[in-house]
Amino acid sequence: MTAIEPDFDVVVIGAGVIGLSAAVAAAEAGRSVLILERNADFGQETSSRNSEVIHAGIYYPAGSLKAEMCVAGRHRLYEFAARHNVPFRQCGKLIVANGDAQSAALAGIEQRACANGVNDLQFLGQSEIAGLEPALNATAGLFSPSTGIIDSHSYMMALLGLAENSCAQLVTHCEVSEIRREGRLWRVVAGHSPDDSILARAVINCAGLMAASVAARIEGLGATHVPHMHYAKGAYFAYGATVPFSHLIYPMPEPGGLGTHLTLDLAGRARFGPDVTWIDDLDYAVDPSKKEQFAASVRQFWPDVDAERLYPDYAGIRPKITGPGEPAADFQISGPDDHGLQGIVNLFGIESPGLTASLPLGERAAALVWQGV
């Protein structure tokens, strides 16, 4: 009897930064790779709805995957961007504190950063902050010189180009509905006709917000290996005037997010956000009535903000695997050694700093898929 041959070595589900990075890693390792994406193009979901910040790796618990992958990913991302002409700027960021309690909390943030190997934070007093950013209202701050910004669309285009150079293929308008066992292979069904399916040795589930719902459709995967997803929406308001800042400005972190911060894009445009709103359904609308709330948050570090110049911009949704009031979860990369299915890797909870961490995360997923094979 002749063995059935697969159509591809690896099917990657989802063409966000993580799926594209995993596809590059697998294709450059000589595997044949097919990327399936439900939207009309790559990067239409969380990967294009974020702050585009290259994070230093400051806040995450020591020893966590988030810390490890963020620090490693940051170095890799700067190198990648320089090598592949992806626009970026290492502009640095200031975490600002107001009052004694917040100033004291800065020390905790610095300690955590050091434990993650981020040793370049500089503590600034009120006068030093005034020298750096005169329009800021802050009694103390931490300056992170290794934080930066990147053009996430160009980054994804570069990843896709590399994957395609190594013969990976992207198929869009293709929503995976089922992953069935077929001997030692996996039949990945996309669409409704039995013809709309691909036979692969391995499947990497990088479906972001839908990762748990895709995983639930993998034949033989125990329910204990599929986390419950929680969605935390983050809305942004843009500012219709030049802002008097040249660094990213972050307040103290808040539960569920990093606080309503100021980010600049590469053209120098300013936006504030993201806030945190727990939602049940995926909905990207930005509520214009939040303008005053945003103005109040921003006023804490920039008293001269003109609320009339704030306007609703876009929103992103954090794919969380713990809910409101629960401790933040780590990234979860679940491979054969965890769930017992050869050739299957699921990535869950890839919220921030997933963009920064995307290169090592994709590589780890692409390597894990061969565990036990």
Contact set with ligand FAD (CB under 6 A): 13-19, 36-39, 44-47, 50-53, 55, 175-176, 206-210, 214, 234, 274, 316-318, 350-356
CA distance 220 to 243: 54
CA distance 67 to 357: 9
**Shortest separation between residue 51's beta carbon and ligand FAD, angstroms:** 3
Give 47 or 144: the residue with its C-beta nearer to ligand FAD: 47
Torsion, Cα 300 304 307 311, to 10 degrees, reads: -90
**Shortest separation between residue 93's beta carbon and ligand FAD, angstroms:** 10
Cβ(88)–Cβ(111) under 8 Å?
A: no
Give 239 or 331: the residue with its C-beta nearer to ligand FAD: 331
Tokens of 133: 């950013």
Reported for 209-215, long-range contacts at CB under 8 A and 24+ positions apart, including other chains, are 209/45, 209/46, 209/282, 209/317, 209/319, 210/14, 211/14, 211/319, 211/346, 211/347, 211/348, 211/350, 212/321, 212/348, 214/13, 214/176, 214/179, 214/346, 215/346, 215/348
Give 140 or 357: the residue with its C-beta nearer to ligand FAD: 357
**Shortest separation between residue 52's beta carbon and ligand FAD, angstroms:** 6
Residue nearest to ligand FAD (CB): 354
Give 18 or 341: the residue with its C-beta nearer to ligand FAD: 18
**Shortest separation between residue 258's beta carbon and ligand FAD, angstroms:** 8
Mark 339-367 as b/e (b = at least 16 C-beta within 10 Å): bebbbbbbbbbbbbbbbbbbbbbbbbbbe
Give 254 or 304: the residue with its C-beta nearer to ligand FAD: 254
**Shortest separation between residue 99's beta carbon and ligand FAD, angstroms:** 27
**Shortest separation between residue 310's beta carbon and ligand FAD, angstroms:** 17
Give 150 or 243: the residue with its C-beta nearer to ligand FAD: 150
3 state DSSP class of 123: strand
